Amino acid sequence: MDLAEAVEADQLWGWPVEVLDHLLFLQRQAWSGRLPLESWRAEDASLREGQPAVDAVAVESALTEWVASGELQLGAHGGLLGRLTVLANRPPSDDDLWVELITVAKRAGAADANPRFVEVDLARRDLIVSWLRSSDSVDAVTGLPWSVVARFGSEVDDARQAALDGVAADERSCADLVATRRAELGSSTGDEWPA
């Protein structure tokens, strides 16, 4: 399929464009803070159910080829770009969100950060923090993913402090944002490893 066909197509990789447009709508609603993360994930999964399997690499390859050739222009082809993005990518996992949080926090705090984008990055950072705070995959005491805390010991309380001491500074600053029970650090919480 070439770019002109893709722009006019009723289906992309066997998916109706109406479904892709709805997935894109959900994504935009979630990233603007108007749709809770779990609702986005559930509605996205429901819409994907029964659709043909997608080779995300093939979609990304077509997208890369069109961008590299100069054919794909954001202004003229923004809708197609959005459709292909949601076709190849589900809503982010908690692990994806953690990586994104570190990226946007670092970018917003950079000395050479573009002031026009800092506000956008800070809003995105705050949204991700709110999502991670409600996640079972993140330890409320440290603010770190449980998978990170688990690498630092077998006893939960000991592993928490070791994890905070052992992660990179950018991870630590993000954990500081996410933690909701930091006052309990160093005390015996009686917490157990999540199942």
Contacts of 54 by beta carbon, 8 Å cutoff, 6+ apart: 13, 15, 87, 88
The residue among 88, 120, 146 that closes a domain is 88
Given a contact cutoff of 8 angstroms between Cβ atoms, the answer to whether 66 and 72 are in contact is yes
Q: Over the chain, what is the mean pLDDT?
A: 91
pLDDT of 76 higher than 80: no
Question: Which of 31, 59, 88 delimits the end of a domain?
Answer: 88
In a shared domain, residues 35 and 99: no
Q: Is the pLDDT of residue 125 over 80?
A: yes
Residues 173 and 98 in one domain: yes
What is the C-alpha to C-alpha distance for residues 132 and 145, in angstroms, rounded to an integer? 9
Q: What is the pLDDT of residues 82-124, one digit of tens each?
A: 999 999 999 999 999 999 999 999 999 888 888 889 999 999 9
Q: 164 and 185 in contact (C-beta within 8 Å)?
A: yes
Range of the domain at 48: 3-88
Q: Confidence class of residue 74 from pLDDT cuts 50, 70 and 90?
A: low
**50 touches 16 (CB < 8 A):** no
> Does 80 fall in a domain?
yes
By C-alpha distance, which of 68, 101, 88, 83 is closest to 172?
Answer: 101
Element (H, E) at 12: strand 11-12
Residues 10 and 77 in one domain: yes
Q: 53-67, 68-82, 160-174 — which one is most confidently predicted on average?
A: 160-174
Q: Is residue 194 part of a domain?
A: no
All residues at 6 or more sequence positions from 18 whose CB lies less than 8 Å from its CB, including other chains: none
Q: Is the pLDDT of residue 190 over 70?
A: yes
Confidence band, pLDDT 50/70/90 cuts, at residue 154:
confident
Determine the Cα–Cα distance for residues 139 and 194; give it in Å rounded to an integer: 9
21/72 same-domain check? yes
**191 has pLDDT over 90:** no
Asked whether residue 169 carries a pLDDT value surpassing 70, the answer given is yes
Candidates 138, 11, 157, 135; CA nearest to 84 is 11
HSE-CB of 87 using CA atoms within 13 angstroms? 31
The predicted model gives 1-9 an average pLDDT of 83
Q: Is the pTM of this model over 0.85?
A: yes
Q: Into how many domains does the chain fold? A: 2
Q: Exposed, middle or buried, 160 (CB in 10 Å: 0-12/13-18/19+)?
A: buried
**For residue 9, what is the enclosing H or E element?**
none
